[in-house]
A and B are shown apart, each in its own frame.
Chain A
Amino acid sequence: MRLSTGARLTARTVVLVYLGVLVALPVAVILWRSFGEGIGAFVASITTPAAISAFNLSLLIVAIVVPVNVVFGITVALALVRGRFPGRAALQAVVDLPFAVSPIVVGVALILLWGVGGWFGGVEALGFRVIFGLPGMVLATIFVTMPFVVREVEPVLHEIGEEQEQAAATLGASGWQTFWRITLPAIRWGLTYGIVLTVARSLGEFGAVIMVSSGFPGVSQTLTLLVHGRYLDDHNTFGAYSAATLLMGMAIVALALMTLLDRKRSTR
């Protein structure tokens, strides 16, 4: 399709304005507000005990969620692509469920299940606190990030087919050897992509986590909850902006990492 010069310029302007208003402007405003009082104030704001605790808690949740999702994601993707079992279509649908369900619904469901009087609420009597504790936040985050690894690895498994694995078998490789030496290296880019998406979403998850967290600053606030708490409860808008900038910075690191890996992948 060839556009006239006028149409081309119009199209460009529309895209730039659209992206500018929706993406660049909000980001710029937050950055401007965060650094408006100087870099020292920003650093001070993100190194308060509550901020450091929130930072650590967010990273801790990521550190738990990622390995769980990697193991689960690869297993499910393998089952979906290589498996021949009844209920595969149902499993396909279940994997997409977290995309469809609002995170806040997930939070409510977890409370119904694990909260006092819930089906599994009994574990609390044993001294294991799920709701309003770390396990609840981890469960909520696992739920919302579950599809990423599966959906990134699945197409790669389709693409590479079974022949390499069969060739490895005829050469004497056991199932484990084949997985570690053939399958895993073949899916590594899809897996990396899935992990980066999982990290980004884990850091950014708010709706499901706020339902199951007690939200105490310095105890059970993740970075997103810190932003929320500072803004609404403490009326500390500057603190909220700084925390948001930190969150954004982490997301940008994840994005940059992904872009870098993507480039490396395309040179192969």
Chain B
Amino acid sequence: MITVSHARKAFGEFRALDDVSLDIPEGSLTALLGPSGSGKSTLLRAIAGLDDLDSGVVMIGGADVTRVVPQKRGIGFVFQHYAAFKHMTVRDNIAFGLSIRHRPKAEIQRRVDELLQVVGLEVFQNRYPAQLSGGQRQRMALARALAVDPKVLLLDEPFGALDAKVRADLRAWLRRLHDEVHVTTVLVTHDQEEALDVADRIALLHQGRIEQVGSPDDLYDRPANGFVMSFLGSVSRLGDQLVRPHDIVLQRSTGADRDGVRATVTRIVRLGFEVRVELRDDAGGEFTAQLTRGDVDALSLREGDAVLARTVRPSPVADTPPADAPAPELGAELVDEVRVAVAH
């Protein structure tokens, strides 16, 4: 269990953490998600003791560690760029934490063998980090952090420097590892898909504050505000409501229209099973609906058609977001779609 209370940290004028309080339950895999500059890395480094807080308290396992050096916090930390000890072999890298604790040789050997197997690097144990791929280096870094049996495992954008395929593999692997080891894990990421995929809890940060904490479903289905909703997944503005594009249904527009938004189809993009329909409402607002191929075919929808759009689910966000609601920085193909739609 990690508890952060009223954490504040400023770099000059910039408030990296602005009164952040957060509980991270024992055994969970929590993602600190947010755009760059949201304070998520600062929060993680404060938990690790690598950065000091201006004020606030950090507790790990019930003990106040705010003034405790990183060495004594019982943490494992994994850096985005691996921080591999370049002059040591994979084996020596993993053994480092045990070796400086002067554990018996036999015990070190046994533990390192075990971890090499867990991360699948047995064959590479005598190589130097420079002879490994990025994914292998990061697995080595994970094994190194796990070797000292940390109470909490802290990962700072661990997959950020890897290419998409390796990232997806490692993500799945981390999830399985966590299911086996059960060490409380905190993962910093700017990638909403990564957070939804791997974490059982997400804390969404924005401008040094926590916008919402909850399960991935909580944040996706019951976002606390427009920022949360637009950061996790794509959004469309239907009339004065923010809704998910896949919650929009279209009907052929008939004269005596009931409730719904009248719109014109501007473009139909077939993405295999999924079809993206771009529309413009009568007020000139552009939005996107996500339909299945079957729906579109049943309506025999064509560009230029007049339709009636409504949502099958009321907007989860009570207040409409400010017009300048910040878009997610990356992981934002979906938002880009909205932008593309506007551009058309």
A171 within 8 A of partner (CB): yes
* Interchain CB contact under 8 A, A171 and B83: no
Which residues of B90-112 have CB atoms within 8 Å of chain A's CB atoms?
Answer: 96-97, 100-101
Q: Which residues of B contact A174 (CB under 8 A)?
A: 71, 100
A82 CB, min distance to chain B CBs, angstroms: 14
Q: Which residues of A contact B48 (CB under 8 A)?
A: 170
Q: Which residues of B contact A166 (CB under 8 A)?
A: 50, 70, 77, 79, 83
Which residues of A148-207 have CB atoms within 8 Å of chain B's CB atoms?
Answer: 160, 163-164, 166-174, 177, 181-182, 185-186
Q: A164, A172, A173, A182: which has the most chain B beta carbons within 10 Å?
A: A172
Q: Please give me the 4 A-B residue pairs with the lowest Cβ-Cβ distance, nearest first.
A: A171-B97, A163-B83, A167-B83, A170-B77
* Interchain CB contact under 8 A, A170 and B81: no
* Interchain CB contact under 8 A, A167 and B86: no
Q: A168, A170, A268: which has the most chain B beta carbons within 10 Å?
A: A170
Q: Which residues of A contact B132 (CB under 8 A)?
A: none
* Interchain CB contact under 8 A, A169 and B79: no
**Chain A residue at smallest Cβ distance from B79:** A163
**Count of chain A residues near B, Cβ 8 A:** 18
B75 within 8 A of partner (CB): yes
Q: Which residues of A contact B97 (CB under 8 A)?
A: 171-173
Can you name 28 A-B residue pairings with CB atoms under 8 Å?
A163-B81, A163-B83, A164-B83, A164-B85, A166-B79, A166-B83, A167-B79, A167-B144, A169-B69, A169-B70, A169-B71, A170-B50, A171-B76, A171-B96, A171-B97, A171-B100, A171-B147, A172-B71, A172-B97, A172-B101, A172-B148, A173-B96, A173-B97, A174-B100, A181-B96, A181-B100, A186-B86, A186-B87
Q: Which residues of B contact A185 (CB under 8 A)?
A: 87
Q: Which residues of A contact B75 (CB under 8 A)?
A: 170
**Chain B residue at smallest Cβ distance from A182:** B85
Q: Which residues of A contact B148 (CB under 8 A)?
A: 171-172
A contacts with B: majority SS? helix
* Given known A166-B83, A181-B100, contact A171–B145 (CB-CB < 8 A): yes
Contacts across chains A and B counted by CB atoms under 8 Å? 63
**Count of chain B residues near A, Cβ 8 A:** 28
A41, B147: Cα distance in complex, Å: 66
B78 CB, min distance to chain A CBs, angstroms: 9
- Which of A160, A168, A268 is the one whose CB lies under 8 Å from B96? A168
Q: Which residues of B contact A173 (CB under 8 A)?
A: 71, 96-97, 100
Q: B50, B75, B100, B130: which has the most chain A beta carbons within 10 Å?
A: B100
Which residues of B53-73 have CB atoms within 8 Å of chain A's CB atoms?
Answer: 69-73
A177, B96: Cα distance in complex, Å: 11
A176 CB, min distance to chain B CBs, angstroms: 10
**Chain A residue at smallest Cβ distance from B76:** A170
Q: Please name 13 further chain A to chain B contacts, defined as beta carbons within 8 Å, in addition to the given A170-B50, A170-B71, A172-B71, sorted by A numbering.
A: A163-B83, A166-B70, A166-B83, A167-B79, A167-B83, A167-B85, A169-B71, A170-B73, A171-B147, A172-B101, A173-B96, A174-B71, A182-B85
B75 CB, min distance to chain A CBs, angstroms: 6
**Chain B residue at smallest Cβ distance from A163:** B83
* Interchain CB contact under 8 A, A170 and B70: yes
Q: Which residues of A contact B69 (CB under 8 A)?
A: 169
Q: Which residues of B contact A268 (CB under 8 A)?
A: 128, 130
Q: Which residues of A contact B147 (CB under 8 A)?
A: 171
Q: Which residues of A contact B86 (CB under 8 A)?
A: 160, 164, 186
